[in-house]
Structures are given as structure tokens and as C-alpha cells.
Amino acid sequence: MGTIADSSLWERARRVLPGGVSSPVRSFRSVGGEPFFSDHGEGAFLYDISGRRYVDYVLSWGPLILGHAHPEVVEAVERAAGSGLTFGTPAPAEVELAELLVELVPSVEMVRFVSSGTEATMSAVRLARGATGRDRILKFDGCYHGHADSFLVKAGSGVATLGLPDSPGVPSALSALTSSVPFNDLEAVESVFGRFPGEIAAVIVEPVMGNVGLIEPAEGFLSGLRELTRAQGSLLVFDEVMTGFRVALGGAQERYGVDPDLTTLGKVVGGGLPVAALGGRRAIMEQLAPTGPVYQAGTLSGNPLGMAAGLAQLRVLERDRPHERLESLTGELVDGIVRAATERGLPVSGVHVGSMWGVFFTEGPVTDYAGAKQTDTEFFSTYFRECLKRGVFFAPSPFEAGFMSTAHRREHVEMTLNAVGESMDAALEG
């Protein structure tokens, strides 16, 4: 996996960055070997510093729905940079992007921009607590809502990948205010409401789980959450950092017909730059300072480069409406991987929703975190390394979703499936 140039840079990185990386999911710790260092991306491909090319299904962990270096996004960023990198005052692009989000996302009436998904979700919880006067939140096992203290209880993403317990550094008094139950289990949700009547400020959920692989909501699960929270006076928060604009133009709430009280957005909304947003009903959003008492702030929130990138990307999606083609192509990829595994006698379960997808090497269907943990992680590690040798870059973890972009074509999927078959054979022989 690593070249001499990569290894030299890797040694330098480990001397100055914890684990050699700026985010744990990039470390390859769970799959073995050293991560490659990227030089540039182009369309469906990522190129490392040695010039090797990979068909990319990580896509910077989801933001690049148009592929790498889409010319309209790049041009928009270059044009914005020429006018200044940050102002510290309101700017027109903030208003334009906020208006577009209100237009596209069914439940959103007002928007507050931030710089990361973690900022969006932790602000959503603070706002929910302030608006309801309650302290407790409810989340779901394996859902990952960023690394804020309230969320590192039975979390997914890098926490699941690295097999870490609930993180040290989180005060027990704070984590005690977070209840976590299995995804797709409405009875467990009802039980928590029964134990803590009048105490739960919000239920926060990834409407499609993307941080333990990909898990779909069962029929009636999201609508059941809507009914329960409304009856209990709690807020429903959809974490659409991953699903926003990917599973449908209006996100999971459009796809499943369920309107939450608050929505967090990230990844696609920033076009590849660090942009996220919190949105929701006007009466709740106006509880944020300066119109309300719930304080939240950020020096670089609404950064002009990020606003330009997000606007350009979302306008392309709004104009081209690629979601049907993306979903079809994503289905071809998942079906091909499942077919290849089945032909070789491997237990396998695969699913896709919009341009998000996941494959577990275990018998399916997988409906919650406990089921996802049954995947064959040892086989996956070897399979991942073999795919990488053949120029296919999947997420370096069995507990992450994969992504498709508009730059991917059928020939890229065919190339990938050829590599998948060879990689499975090599992994089985090894």
C-alpha cells in the first residue's frame, strides 16, 4: 500500500500529528498498513503522491457528490477567493445559500451556518435543551453525531472502527444525560420516555445510519419517532450531515416524508469545504442569539469560500437532478459486490439508499449496530488491502458508508467489480 515516498512522509506525520493523521478514520489502523497521501483528485479518481490512481468511493467521506474538482465548484471558490477569504461581517452568499436550503429541505425555515457537523449537532442539542427547558437527550447505538461530549456514548464512525469504549474525558455527569437505544427499536424509545417522563429534550437520529456501514430505517420507524416526540413534548432532530442532498435532493426527510423539528447538515452542503448548518422551524431557531437566549457563535461561520462552494454544488444538483441515475448506478455496484461474494460462498448483506451504500460480510438483513458488529472484520481488512492494490479505494473500515458521485460511470463500476472479484479471491486464498 505504501510507497517509499509515502513511508517517508508517514514517518514525518507520526512525529507531529497524533497517529499521523488529523482524523482517526484516516489512519488505516483497523485494516493494517499505512495510509496513502493524496496529491490530487479528478472526477471519480483520487491520485496519491506517487501518481497511482484509485476509483474513489470515499469521496472525502461524503461531500463530493459531484466528484473531485468539479469545474463549476472550483470556479466559484476561485472567484470568491479573489474578493477576500473572510470578512467577519454578513455577506450576500450566506443569505443566498440559506434561502436555497430553506427552499430544498422540507422542514427548514431558518438556518444558522457553522463550520463542522460536530458544531451543528452540538448546537442542535443546546438549542433543544434551551427551547424545552429539559436536559436529557436520546440517541441510537452506533449513530455518530460528531465528537461533542454528549454524543460519545455507544457511537459509530471512528469510535466503532477503533473499538473504543465511550471516550475518556467526557464527564460521567454529562454522559448520564444521554440515553442510547438500538436503531429501529421504537419499543426501546418508548421505554426510555417511560423512565424519564418530561425530561427528554430531544431525540437525535441519523435517519439512515451511515457510521456503522449503511443501515436503512425500518418502515414506520421515523414516523414513529415523530409521533412519540410530538406526544412527549420533545424535539426530533435529524442528523442529515451524511444523508442531506444524497438520498434525495431534500434529504431523508423528503425521501421518507417525515419532518423533524431541527435538521443538521454538512458534507454536501459545503461542496468540499468545511461548512455545516443547523436549520429548523422558525419558532425554535429564533431561540438562538441574538434573537433569543441560547448562545452559539463562530468566527468563520458563513465563510465566503464555503458559501460559494456550497451554492455552486447545490445549484448543479438542483439543475441536473442526478439522483435517479446515481441511485441506479449505486445499486449496480452493491448488487455486483453482493453477487461476487455469494458466488464465493461468503456471507454478505448489501444495501443502498440514494448514492450512499454499504456491504457487510455477514448474513443479513442488518438492522442495527449489534447486527453490524457481526461483520467479518478480519476478512474485510484483507479484502480492503487487495482492492487498494487494484486501484479501488473503499473506506478503510467495515463500519463506514460508501458514496457514489455524478463523475462515476458504468465503466468505473465494471472496473471496480473486476477488482472486487480478484480481491475476494486473494483474500480467501490468504
Interval 47-72: pLDDT, tens? 999 999 999 999 999 999 999 999 99
Q: What is the mean pLDDT of residues 370-397?
A: 96
pLDDT of residue 167: 59
Q: Are residues 152 and 170 in the same domain?
A: yes
- 139, 154, 267, 373: the catalytic one is 267
Q: Are residues 48 and 174 in the same domain?
A: no
Summarize pLDDT for 74-106 with one digit per residue, the tens.
Answer: 999 999 999 999 999 999 999 999 999 999 999
Which among 320, 344, 379 is the end of a domain? Answer: 320
Q: Annotated catalytic, 154?
A: no
- Give the number of domains in the chain: 2
Q: Are residues 204 and 65 in the same domain?
A: no
Distance of alpha carbon 178 from alpha carbon 204, whole angstroms? 10
pLDDT above 60 for 275: yes
pLDDT of residue 172: 75
Question: DSSP letters of 362-401?
Answer: SSS---SHHHHTTS-HHHHHHHHHHHHHTTEE--SSTTS-
Q: Are residues 316 and 330 in the same domain?
A: no
pLDDT of residue 242: 97
pLDDT of residue 165: 46
Q: Annotated catalytic, 141?
A: no
Distance of alpha carbon 391 from alpha carbon 415, whole angstroms? 9
CATH number for the domain spanning 406: value is 3.90.1150.10
pLDDT of residue 161: 46
> Do 145 and 139 form a contact (C-beta atoms < 8 A)?
yes
Supply the DSSP symbol for 138.
E
Q: Are residues 93 and 215 in the same domain?
A: yes
CATH number for the domain spanning 264: value is 3.40.640.10
pLDDT above 50 for 156: no
Which among 320, 345, 380 is the end of a domain? Answer: 320
Output the nine-digit C-alpha cell for 241: 450531515
Q: Are residues 185 and 287 in the same domain?
A: yes
Q: Are residues 234 and 286 in the same domain?
A: yes
Q: Are residues 271 and 129 in the same domain?
A: yes
Q: What is the mean pLDDT of residues 17-44?
A: 91
- 6, 48, 141, 239: the catalytic one is 239
Percent of the chain with pLDDT over 90: 86
- 54, 57, 144, 256: the catalytic one is 144
Cα torsion for 196, 200, 206, 210, to the nearest 10°?
A: -50
Q: How confident is the model at residue 5 (pLDDT cuts 50, 70, 90)?
A: low
Q: What is the mean pLDDT of residues 309-320?
A: 98
- Domain holding 250, by residue range, is 71-320
pLDDT of residue 154: 53
Q: Annotated catalytic, 57?
A: no
Q: Are residues 264 and 359 in the same domain?
A: no
Q: Are residues 389 and 248 in the same domain?
A: no
Distance of alpha carbon 254 from alpha carbon 257, whole angstroms? 5
Q: Taking the CA of residue 224 as centre, how many other CA atoms within 13 Å lie in the half-sphere pointing to its CB? A: 13
Summarize pLDDT for 326-374 with one digit per residue, the tens.
Answer: 999 999 999 999 999 999 999 999 999 999 999 999 998 999 999 999 9
Q: What is the mean pLDDT of residues 172-179?
A: 83
Mean of pLDDT over the chain: 93
